[in-house]
Each structure stands twice: as structure tokens, then as C-alpha cells.
Amino acid sequence: MVFGTRFGDLLALSGVRLPVLSVLGRLPAAICPIGTLVLVSENSGSVAAAGTVSGVLALGQAVGGPVVGRLSDRRGQRFVVSIAAALNALAIVLLVAAALSDRPVAVQAACAGCAGAVTPQIGPLSRTRWLTLTSGHPDERRLVAAALSGDGTLDEISFTVGPAIAGVLAALVDPAAGMLLAAVLVAGCGIPFALHPAGRPAAAPGRGQEDRTRDRAPLLSGGLVILCAGMAAQGVFYGSVQIGLAALTERLGHPEAAGLLYGLMGGVSAAAGLVVTVFPGRLDLTARLKLTALGLVAATVPLLAVHGMAGLTLAMALIGLPIAPYVVTLFGLAERTVPRSRMGEAMSVLVAGIIVPQAIGTTVAGRLAGAHGPAAAFALTCSATVMAALLAATAVTTGRFPRPHDAGR
């Protein structure tokens, strides 16, 4: 079977331990934003303070992520990621201590900013390890495609599972529980991930002259900017759909269902991502991005007409179908346009490109929902998907993102 062959080959190259560390190690980056929001709001009683601290955390992640990625590419993952993971765990613990002891908002924000800036970028850097592990394999191209698709799906799962973990622990244990779990995971999984033998050295030996020339190419390109814009649209989508969902479930008298429905969307998305990974089909990535972006538009429009729980449940399940395939395709296109020696930095840039727009989407959608109701927040969601579809239709072409054999010619 295709599934058994490709993923069996990937596991043979990496072992089981590395994927497990990668999955658990990337969860803290998804837990911390909502965990910080819950922690600070519960202890301070101020939603404004919580929004400020959480916003600084997101800004730190967006600014620090590409720096950690660049340093990892230049100095090697083992040293950089292990230091970043240790500092990240320490900063998270300091943030929890500052919130519980009711320190000034400025102090809490400083701790949050530091925690965000030293996030170890395990998800993006995991992709660079697959590129190294599969290098020279007879089926390298297909294994790389499967690995990048699988990693994109894992990111999608973490984006939805992380906030759910933070919310459940806050409700059942303590508002600080999610953040403390994040600190444990980033230290207990992030450092072993960094020190794993698959840790990519700063300079890969045995590279051909053509590869070395390509690696010296600048990171910033029109292609990467387009992909970042696509990620930004997805960030606005995430932020606005969360707010619209919360506002509508509250209006319908079932506020507790918001987390479950968001989890449903994430579960369907993860399943769709796995299908794309296992059965990639013959569509080129540029065509697949156009198709999945149109799917996002078609799936979000029904939100404007939803007025009951049954319809909302069906709509959220429908929305999940194109999300992971869209995100996975963006990451796959990045591998075509970015020098391999700077792949960690590029993947970190893409992940960072979703963080600040998500915060903006949450803020704007919150004001729209407060003034005009849930449909206004969902209108922002639809606008974001329309922008993603227009971008894919007009700017993502095989000329800008050539197939691997075209690039070889």
C-alpha cells in the first residue's frame, strides 16, 4: 500500500522517537496563546490586560520565530533549539509566577514577550530534518512530499488540539495548568528533539556545486511573499471564525459548545490532511492550492446563513475539509522556492505569518460581533477566504513555483 510504503520508509529513516518528540514538542506553541489569555484574565479579572499580555506573546512568536529558524540553519539545530527550548520553558514558568503573584501588566507582558521570542520552532524545523533524512534516497521526491504533507497536518492538529488542551485544563484543573504543561512539554520534548541524532548540522556535507549555489540565493522572494500572504489570510480566518463561533453559540444558549465545534473542525481538517498526504493525486501543487482555496470560500459562505446548532455543527465539519490541504500545499510550495540551507528560517517565517494576522482577526471580529452580531464576524471569515482564493488564482503559477523537474531544466 502507498501509506505503508511511504510512511514505513519515513519511519525507517527517522525512527519512532523523533516523530513523537516532534508532535509533543510543537504543542506548547499552540497552548500558550490561549493559555496566557485564560491565565491572566482569571487572575487579574481584566480581559484588557489578558489581551495585552497574550498579544505581546504573539508578537514575540512572530518576531522571534524567523530568528530562531535562521540561527538553527546557520549554527545547527542541536545547539540553538536546545537553548531556545530551555529558555522558553523558563520564560513560561516566570510568566505563570508573574500572573499568579499579580505582578504589573508590564512585567507579565515582558515575560510573555520573552516566552514568545524563544519558542523553539519545532514544527518548522522538523521539516528541514525530513529534507536531510531523505536526501539521496531513491524515492526522495515522493518521500519529501509525504513528509512535508504529514508535518503540515501535524501543525494543523496542534493549532486545534493545543487551545482545546488549555481550555479543558483551565476548566477542570486550574487556569495555570495549561501553561505549566506547556513548560513541561517544551523542556521534556523540545530539548530531546534538539539533541536527537537527526539534528541537522549547520552545513550539510557532500552537497553538489549546484545545490551550494542555490543555497546562497536570498531567502526573500516574490514566491515566499505570496505564500506568507496566503498564511496571513489563513490567520485572519482562524481568529475570526473562533470569535464568530463563540458569539453564535452564546446567542444560541450553548456557549460550552464552542470549543467542541472548533475541535470538530480541527478533527475533520486533520483527517483531510492525512488523505492528501496518503493519496496526493496527480494535481500540481499550484492547481491544488487554487482548488483548496476555492473550497475554503465555498465552505465558509454557509456560516452567514446558520441560525441553529444543527446547521452550525454541519457547517463547522464542512469548513474543516479544505483547511489542512490548503495549509499543507502552502508548505509544499515553499520547498520549491526556498534554498534548502535556509528552509528552517523559511518555514518559521511562514508559521510566524499566521500568528499576528490571527490576533488581528480575533480583535476585529470581536468588535464586529459585539456591534453587529456573529454574522459580522463570519463575514470577516468569508472575506479572508476570498482574499486567499484571489491570491491563489492570480499569483500562484507554475512559472513562479515550477515543478521540481522544471526547476532542474
Tell me what pLDDT residue 301 has: 95
HSE on the CB side for 323, CA within 13 Å? 29
* pLDDT, tens digit, 9 for 90 and up, residues 285-341: 899 999 999 999 999 999 999 989 999 999 999 999 999 889 888 888 887 887 777
Following CA atoms 158, 159, 164, 170 in sequence, which dihedral angle do they give, to the nearest 10 degrees? 100
Tell me what pLDDT residue 216 has: 52
From CA 407, how far away is CA 396, in angstroms rounded? Answer: 16
Q: For residue 339, what is its C-alpha cell?
A: 534554498
Q: What does the DSSP 8-state code read for residue 52? A: H
**Is residue 62 predicted with pLDDT exceeding 70?**
yes
Tell me what pLDDT residue 408 has: 43
CB atoms under 10 Å from CB of 277, counted, come to 24
Share of the chain above pLDDT 70, in %: 88
Mean pLDDT of 338-349: 76
Q: Which residue has the higher pLDDT, 345 or 67?
A: 67
Following CA atoms 230, 340, 67, 220 in sequence, which dihedral angle do they give, to the nearest 10 degrees? -50
Q: Which residue has the higher pLDDT, 259 or 162?
A: 162
* pLDDT, tens digit, 9 for 90 and up, residues 103-148: 999 999 999 999 999 999 888 888 778 777 777 777 777 777 777 7
Tell me what pLDDT residue 97 has: 96
Task: Using pLDDT thresholds of 50, 70 and 90, give the confidence band for residue 206.
Answer: very low
Q: For residue 31, what is its C-alpha cell?
A: 497552548
**Is residue 207 predicted with pLDDT exceeding 60?**
no
Task: Using pLDDT thresholds of 50, 70 and 90, give the confidence band for residue 219.
Answer: low
Task: Using pLDDT thresholds of 50, 70 and 90, give the confidence band for residue 50.
Answer: confident
Tell me what pLDDT residue 202 has: 47
Tell me what pLDDT residue 370 has: 83
How far is CA 273 from its chain centroid? 13
How far is CA 6 from its chain centroid? 24
Least confident of 279-283, 295-299, 369-373, 398-402: 279-283
CB atoms under 10 Å from CB of 106, counted, come to 12
Q: Identify the CATH assignment for 217-403 out of 1.20.1250.20, 2.40.110.10, 1.10.150.20, 1.10.3080.10.
A: 1.20.1250.20
Q: For residue 259, what is its C-alpha cell?
A: 470549543
As annotated, the residues of the chain forming the CATH 1.20.1250.20 domain(s) are 15-203, 217-403
Q: What does the DSSP 8-state code read for residue 253? A: T
Share of the chain above pLDDT 90, in %: 32
Average pLDDT, the chain: 83
Q: Which residue has the higher pLDDT, 323 or 52?
A: 323
Q: Name the residue among 297, 364, 348 with its Cα closest to residue 326.
A: 297
Task: Using pLDDT thresholds of 50, 70 and 90, give the confidence band for residue 350.
Answer: confident
Task: Using pLDDT thresholds of 50, 70 and 90, give the confidence band for residue 205.
Answer: very low
Helices (DSSP H) in 45-139: which residue ranges? Answer: 47-75, 77-100, 105-117, 122-134
Q: What does the DSSP 8-state code read for residue 342? A: G
From CA 409, how far away is CA 407, in angstroms rounded? Answer: 5
CA distances from 291 to 198, 222, 253 (A): 35, 21, 36
Mean pLDDT of 201-223: 54
Q: Identify the CATH assignment for 15-203 out of 3.30.70.3270, 1.20.1250.20, 3.40.50.970, 3.40.720.10.
A: 1.20.1250.20
CB 328 within 8 A of CB 295: no
Tell me what pLDDT residue 5 has: 52
Tell me what pLDDT residue 84 has: 95
**Is residue 215 predicted with pLDDT exceeding 50?**
no
CB 41 within 8 A of CB 47: yes
How far is CA 288 from its chain centroid? 19
**Is residue 371 predicted with pLDDT exceeding 80?**
yes
Mean pLDDT of 255-283: 77
Q: For residue 210, what is its C-alpha cell?
A: 549546484
Q: What does the DSSP 8-state code read for residue 218? A: -
Q: Name the residue among 231, 233, 237, 269 with its Cα closest to residue 381.
A: 237
CB 64 within 8 A of CB 54: no
Mean pLDDT of 215-227: 73
From CA 66, how far away is CA 64, in angstroms rounded? Answer: 6
Which H or E run contains 181?
helix 177-185
**Is residue 91 predicted with pLDDT exceeding 90?**
yes
Tell me what pLDDT residue 120 has: 92
